[in-house]
Amino acid sequence: MYRFDPPGTTQSLGSDSLWGKVRFTRGDTVVRFLDGSFRRVQVYDPDSPAIDKIYLGGHVHTISDADAALLSAAGYGEYLTVIA
């Protein structure tokens, strides 16, 4: 069993001298498509028939060894943690 924490994008609240200093990380969603490809997105269509699995950004996902192997092969290995 693995824990998957999807990556995020660091953003700021503005470009002025006050709000430009406020930074936060917005969780990106990782989508696995039926063709086996993965894509990191912030907006997706949940009704798309091409989507196989969705890993919502900002959430922690417990995944199987097989899913972890696919994510690692797609370049998301640094976001995986072994839990069991």
For the chain, the domain total comes to 1
List, for residues 50-76, the tens digit of each pLDDT value. 999 999 998 999 999 999 999 999 999
Q: What is the pLDDT averaged over residues 3-23?
A: 87
Dihedral, 63, 67, 70, 76 alpha carbons, nearest 10: -10
Q: What is the pLDDT of residue 80?
A: 96
More confident residue, 45 or 60: 60
Residue 42's pLDDT band, with cuts at 50, 70 and 90, is confident
Tokens for 18, please give them: 């006050």
Looking at residue 81, what is its pLDDT? 95
Contact 72, 80 (CB under 8 A): yes
d(C-alpha 47, C-alpha 24), whole Å: 29
Task: Domain of residue 67: give its range.
Answer: 2-82
DSSP 34: T
Q: With a threshold of 0.85, does the pTM exceed it? A: no
SS3 49: coil
